[in-house]
Amino acid sequence: MSSPHSAKAAPNLLQKARATPFRLSKKHSQAGSSASGPDWLSPTILAARAITAAGECLPFPYIKGVFGIVVILLETVEKVTNNRDDLKELCGTAMEIMTILQDQIAMHKDTAAVKLKGLCEDFERLLRDVIIGVETMQKKSEGIRGHIAEFFKSGSIHDMIARYQRNIQEICSRLKLMAAIDTNFQVHEIKAALTTGTSSNVSLMQGRRINNCPLSSRIFQGRQAILDKMSVFFNAGLKGQHIYVLHGLGGAGKTQIALKFIEDSSHFKDIFFLDASTAETIETGLKNVAALKNVGNSSQDALKWLANQDEDWLLFIDNADDPNINLHSFMPRCNHGNIVVTSRNPVLCVYAGCHSQVSDMEETDAVPLLLKSAAQEISPANEPIAAEIVKVLCYLPLAIVQAGGFISQSGALHSYLDFYKRNRAQLLSEKPAQTHDDYVWTVYTTWQMSFDRLSLSAAMLLQLCSFLHREGISEEIFSRAATYKFRQCIPSKEDLQKPLEFLSQFLSSTGEWDSLRFLKVTNELRAYSLITFAAERKLFSIHPLVHSWSQTTITEQHSYHSIMGAIVGMSFAELPSEDQQMASLRLISHVDSLRHINQQVAIDFGKQYTRIYYHVGRYEEAKDLAIAVIERETQLLGADHPDTLCAMGNLASTYFHLSKFRQVEQLEAVVLEKRKQVLGDDHPETLCSISNLAATYRNLHNYQKAEELGVIALEKRQQVLGDAHPDTLLAMGELALIYAKLNMFHETEKLQFLVLEKRKQVLSCDHPDTLWAMGDLAPTYRRQGQFHKAEELAVTVLEKRQQLLGHDHPDTLWAMGDLVSTYQKLGEFHRAEELGIIVFEKQKQVHGDASPVTLRAMSNLASIYRSLNKHTKAKEIKKLMKQIKKAS
């Protein structure tokens, strides 16, 4: 431990260690190489060691760190067997920095040491990077001595050394500027003090030093597409002021991209950095520009000076995240100059001549970033592990660097994911002790700062959406829920008080949904990139890590989860039956997300959630949920209550699509009788039960009963609802299917054609119900021998269902199976075989081996094989079918 007197004694010791200011003489610079080292290197190492030894008594580890790393650099260069002279200027600048630091400590004691801390840390990081580069260069030369001269003359090596020299020269310029200011030079004299390096480098470091601009991360990785786009934009020679906006989520790496672009650019005469976190920091930055240029002491003085400067200056406005700051007020009023803006707020693109949304990294860049930040070797063994880690971290740069920091301290590359699964919030909230840049916030604190600025409405909307799936969030979910009518006893108005209160803030004075109010709240979230909006689809999305973080901000998890679950149920409840299937496809991911957190959420709106699962073809889940709802409503409302009967009807519909027709018959018969008693013979729900029971009898081959009920359902619906009502058309379509089973094809075609035309008129040609009418008509044409008509309809239905419902939806697979039958009738057995195999594999994947629809697909495939004289394959399938039936 240092004594209290060590700092006081340090200057004298340092003065003794230093004989003269270090400069490489012309004689030294022309010296050649030898086995023992060139003439310029040996005395340089001795001088550096002397200064380092004297500095051991200093109580400032960052000063000692710099001294020590310079010695290591020189010793590393001494080991280089070729081309040492290319490194001579670099070493000379490093020694010059060392001697300036020595002078500053001698002159200003403790005060200078404290001021020098940031610069020393930058310098030490840079020199470590240089040492790695030099060592790598030497390793590459080993074993190829015959080509060594050619290798060291290559452009890549020279470029690398030149880049290191530029970076070290910038540090030296910063240090000289500090020395000039500390010794009371006037601002106009600073230029004279900065005689080394190019004028662009001097100007760059003046701007950085005065305005505290950091260096880019020494492990910067990738983003080449954005950097190239920026380079093209600023070098295109376009007239006017050039403004480039980098926007995106906090932690995406916007600032680092801007710094990397600045570091790699050489044509800007002056570069100035403004911290735009607040209006005050912008003002301060501009005042520093005015002071630096000796043009006044106010922000307006700086802006006027920039406006009057024709030279190619660049103004870097960083962290312009506050949507309440009018950035226009802080931009020079002129038609020249260059500005780079980084912000979470995409609205700032209004200023941009060009912009880039900065999002997640490519995996090819994210993997080396993780391994570099973790101080792990980039190797075939480590890369797959790193790939899994960056995937879980959603390729977010800040999260990757934080993970690297943890791994570098713990050595836990292989076990990091286990730590992460158990301690995600903690790992994303803690900053590693050792970092590679000047960014001071962690992933979670970065977003928390934005969250703390939100209004209560915006904060709550984000928190509620964290229970939905992170993609496909629409205003429609909330706007339709706001129109909810209490048509059922469960849940009650008291149960829905909180969701209704939340939705009420988006209602106008007349009680109607006000999209402008909703837009204002979502714009708050977009201003911080906490959500993004796809205008063409009118859908919001949330970054996966923001999505999970948002839940950590909620203190009343159960309450908020229930509110969001209710809003989804309320929204679906207000849909007309003909719109429910398409809405279900949009909502299913949100229902899955809600139920994944808490299964109970679906019970309050169980009938709605059951219908959603039913419409997307997930019948087993629909069945399980329907059973749970029936049990609850029977207990709370009684077995004969209309709500309970509705739940029983939902279960019967689910059994129908699972081909469990005996269970359907029992349930529908009970529901029908009770509805007649409770609601009356002509009530729409009673007529629904009659039509459903008719369909069940048809599938049980009881066609006489099916026809009897089918006629009743159609006639009563025509009387009560009218000829064009969707429910009437359903009854008409069902009766047509019954007539087909009775071989009454003329009546079948007549009814089906009428249903198809009316659905086209009332709904649309692409509506799922229209496609059902089209799909029902195709087999009728096939039975009548009109195979090409049948094929045309079947192909249309299949293609449209694949687009609307997806390739694996049960309705799509039904259409595919129907087209197989048509190909068989046309004698196109190879096409039937190709499609039949797909149907069988998909039915097995979706429904399982023992499902009736899978067995039916297998039977059809066996028939096709027989037609193709592939009797062995046909026998194999029949044998497999027997085994499956026996096992089940």
Partner residues linked to 356 by β-bridges: 246
Give the pLDDT mean for 651-680: 94
Distance CA 522, CA 458 (A): 7
Does residue 91 contact residue 29 with C-beta atoms inside 8 Å? no
Tokens 């570091």 locate to 263
Q: How far apart are CA 317 and CA 873, in angstroms?
A: 71
For 494, counting Cβ atoms within 10 Å of its Cβ (0-12 exposed, 13-18 middle, 19+ buried), the class is exposed
Output the pLDDT for position 749: 95
Task: Report the share of the chain in percent with pLDDT over 90.
Answer: 48
Yes or no: say if 310 and 298 are a contact pair by the CB < 8 Å rule.
no
Query: What pLDDT, in 10s, does the model give residues 555-582?
Result: 888 899 999 999 999 999 999 988 999 9
Across the range 735-742, mean pLDDT stands at: 96
Q: CA–CA separation, 55 vs 33, rounded Å?
A: 31
Are 96 and 151 contacting, i.e. CB atoms less than 8 angstroms apart? no
State how far the Cα of 275 lies from the Cα of 286, in Å rounded to an integer: 10
- Sequence-distant (6+) residues with CB within 8 A of 643 are 488, 489, 490, 607, 633, 637
In the chain, DSSP finds a helix count (H) and a strand count (E) of 41, 7
Of the candidates 886, 885, 843, which has an alpha carbon nearest to the alpha carbon of residue 861? Answer: 843
Q: What is the pLDDT at residue 796?
A: 96
- The values of phi and psi at residue 251, to 5°, are 95, 0
Residue type, 734: E
Distance CA 444, CA 767 (A): 44
399 or 467, higher pLDDT: 467
Is residue 210 within 8 Å of 292, Cβ to Cβ?
yes
Task: Kindly provide the residue ranges of all beta strands, DSSP E only, lying in 508-659, ordered along the sequence.
Answer: 532-534, 539-541
Return the number of other C-beta atoms located less than 10 Å from residue 602's C-beta.
24
In whole angstroms, give the CA distance from residue 64 to residue 2. 13
d(CA 442, CA 519): 30
The amino acid that residue 615 corresponds to is H
| Structure tokens that stand for 415 in this block | 């076990």
Q: Among 42-56, 303-317, 732-746, 813-827, where is mean pLDDT lowest? A: 42-56
| Span 128-161, pLDDT tens digits | 777 777 776 666 554 433 333 343 334 455 666 6
Q: What is the pLDDT of residue 199?
A: 36
Q: Which amino acid is at 593?
A: S
Question: Could you read off the pLDDT of 848-867 as tens digits, one per residue?
Answer: 888 888 999 999 999 999 99
Query: Which H or E element spans position 247?
Result: strand 242-247
Q: Are 235 and 170 in contact (CB under 8 A)?
A: no
Q: 185-209, pLDDT tens digit by residue?
A: 333 333 343 333 333 333 334 433 3
Q: 405-461 pLDDT, tens per residue?
A: 888 888 888 888 888 888 777 777 776 655 555 555 677 877 888 888 899 999 999
pLDDT recorded at residue 596: 86
Closest to 66 in 3D by CA, of 84, 42, 80, 48: 48
**For residue 57, is pLDDT > 50?**
yes
- Alpha-carbon torsion, ordered 485, 486, 491, 495, to 10 deg: 80
d(CA 447, CA 398): 12
* Closest to 707 (Cα-Cα) out of 754, 684, 740, 675: 740
Q: In the predicted model, is pLDDT for residue 23 greater than 50?
A: no
Distances, alpha carbon 464 to alpha carbons 195, 478, 568, in Å: 60, 11, 11
Once rounded to an integer, what is the mean pLDDT over residues 108-118? 58
20: its two tokens: 């003269």
Structure tokens at 356: 């880039």
Q: Measure the CA–CA gap between 353 and 545, rounded to whole angstroms.
A: 31
Predicted local confidence at residue 271, as pLDDT: 87
Show the tokens assigned to 358: 């900065």
Confidence of residue 498 (pLDDT cuts 50, 70, 90): very high
Q: Is the pLDDT of residue 106 over 80?
A: no
Question: How far is CA 533 from each of CA 68, 526, 540, 568, 857, rounded to the nearest angstrom?
Answer: 52, 8, 4, 20, 43
Q: What angle do CA 731, 735, 741 make, to 5 degrees?
A: 150
Q: Which of 862, 825, 872, 822 is nearest to 840 (CA)?
A: 862
Separation CA 239–CA 307 (nearest Å): 15
Q: How confident is the model at residue 541 (pLDDT cuts 50, 70, 90)?
A: very high
Average pLDDT (235-262) is: 89
- Token pair 């800007």 in the structure block, residue: 268
Q: Which residue has the higher pLDDT, 110 or 121?
A: 121
Between CA 753 and CA 711 the distance in angstroms is 18
In tens, the pLDDT along 333-346 reads 998 999 999 999 99
Cβ atoms of 372 and 366 within 8 Å: the answer is no
Please state the φ and ψ torsions of residue 388, each to the nearest 5 degrees: -65, -40
Give the model's pLDDT for residue 175: 67
Per the CB < 8 A criterion, the answer to whether 226 and 356 are in contact is yes
Kindly give the pairing relationship between strand 539-541 and strand 532-534: antiparallel
Full DSSP string of 555-591: S-HHHHHHHHHHHHHHHHHTS-GGGHHHHHHHHHHHH
Q: For residues 69 and 130, give the distance between their C-alpha atoms in angstroms, rounded to a whole number.
A: 10
